[in-house]
Amino acid sequence: MKTQINGTDILELGFPEGKIIGIALKINSKRNGFTRDEMIANFKNVLETPENYIDDKIFSKLAIALIEKANEKPEDFIALNQNPNAYSAYGLEGIEDGARKQMEVAMKLPVTVAGALMPDAHQGYGLPIGGVLATKNAIIPYGVGVDIGCRMALSVYDIAEDFYFENEAKFKKELIANSIFGAGHGFHGQHKADHAVLENDAFNMTPFVKNLKDKAWSQLGSSGGGNHFVEFGIMEFTKDDAVLNIPKGKYVALLTHSGSRGMGATIAGHYTKIAKDVCKLPDVAKNLAYLDMNSQLGQEYWMAMNLAGDYASACHEIIHNKMEHALGATILAKVENHHNFAWKEIWNGEEVIVHRKGATPAGKGVMGIIPGSMTAPGFLVRGKGEENAINSASHGAGRQMSRTQAIKNITKTEMKSILQDHGVTLIGAGLDEAPMAYKDINQVMKAQQDLVDVVAKFTPKLVRMADDGSRED
């Protein structure tokens, strides 16, 4: 029987956080004939006297790593800036301390030029979700995030509101038939989609990226797990919009939210590990390890990130094309925006790399969609180009409960009741995605009136999410 030891067990023995835990777990996974207690005893001995295990055939790598760690000096690490610039914040009173502290650390990076915190911000890994960070010639994999290029896509149809309510069963049928959810899920055989993104030369940039192509193909056009969705709703324009050429009125619309699936997550994990190896930061900032844009590794990640973003966009395009064909509708307008990405932009007269982790581009005139929850409205917006916000806005309402808290504190009855109150039909989703787990989108929008103008309001009516409550893979 396999020896059951996890990372928490190793930490409790006194091992330092980081790659050493991974080395110990790898040794444990090979079992080597030891019982659990015997393995724990060996780990204790290696921790206490690593010099006695330098030549040990099982524990040498762990011993050497411990000795190297013990001999690290402050000067071995890249120093943080102890007098950082202040960052801009919007709706700060509604942002948790954890997110604020993460932003404060991010501002201390020697490559940081400017920062901003959006009103939907909450704690994440490295840069907080809702954090915007401009850096000089450096890219931070965890400043981009795990679900690279995650985005919103909207199609507004030439279908009046009444038609939806008269034909709700048809919309439900097409939603189920033309979308697929769940971490790891995808298409096989003749059901696989095709798209020009699969011919992108960037897939051949390295053997690592090339090996992701088969998985990317099978998941092309799928939506994954977590908070990703495909939903029909009513889009209301309270006045004519000349730019989109849409008259005042209420229209049926399709709104989708998903990212780069398993491919993006694998790229994020791979390059974050590399960044941590080449960019030695103090423990408090280790998840903000960055790559120099002038280095081969920096250019590799930049190309892989952009490929993942193009792939995420292709997934949305396939879903929207399928739905347009199934409904036989004409699309009046399409809008798409993404977050969990980095852009080269000019800020204060110099080129910077702007990381928007869970934040929407909101340059002057730039269109975007900011969703609420499955029962709260979303908003079609146009950016105002606020420089203090680094031309950004929130990417949604933001969580006020963690997934674990939501599952513990919200009942199925409560969730069913709020759905009924708002006339929303839900297909799938776990309690971790209940509307009550999210902040009030109206308060979030109020906090960013200086950042965006509202063009139209989207009210969800038919929502589909992963039915297993899974997180993104």
**Residues annotated as part of the active site:** 395
* 374 marked ligand binding residue: yes
Q: Can you give the C-alpha Rg of the chain in angstroms?
A: 24
* 323 marked ligand binding residue: no
Residue 375, classed as helix, strand or coil, is: coil
* 98 marked ligand binding residue: no
* 166 marked ligand binding residue: no
* 388 marked ligand binding residue: no
* 227 marked ligand binding residue: yes
* 395 marked ligand binding residue: yes
* 339 marked ligand binding residue: yes
* 231 marked ligand binding residue: yes
* 259 marked ligand binding residue: no
* 391 marked ligand binding residue: no
- Tell me the angle at which helices 60-70 and 36-48 cross, rounded to the nearest 10 degrees: 40
Bridge partners for 240 per DSSP: none
Cα–Cα distance list, 413 to 52, 119, 347, 417, 434 (Å): 59, 30, 49, 6, 11
* 373 marked ligand binding residue: yes
d(CA 302, CA 299): 5
Structure tokens at 318: 């396939």
Phi-psi region of 404 (alpha: psi -120 to 50; beta: other; left: phi over 0): alpha
Exposure class string for 218-242: b at 16+ Cβ within 10 A, else e: bbbbbbbbbbbbbbbbbbbbeeebe
Please name the residues in contact with 191: beta carbons below 8 A apart, sequence gap of 6 or more: none
Structure tokens at 137: 């010639």
* 321 marked ligand binding residue: no
DSSP conformation class of 459: E
Binding residues for Mn(2+): 147, 228, 257, 339
Residue numbering of the annotated binding site: 147, 227-231, 257, 339-340, 371-374, 395-398
Residue ranges at the known binding site for GMP: 227-231, 339-340, 371-374, 395-398
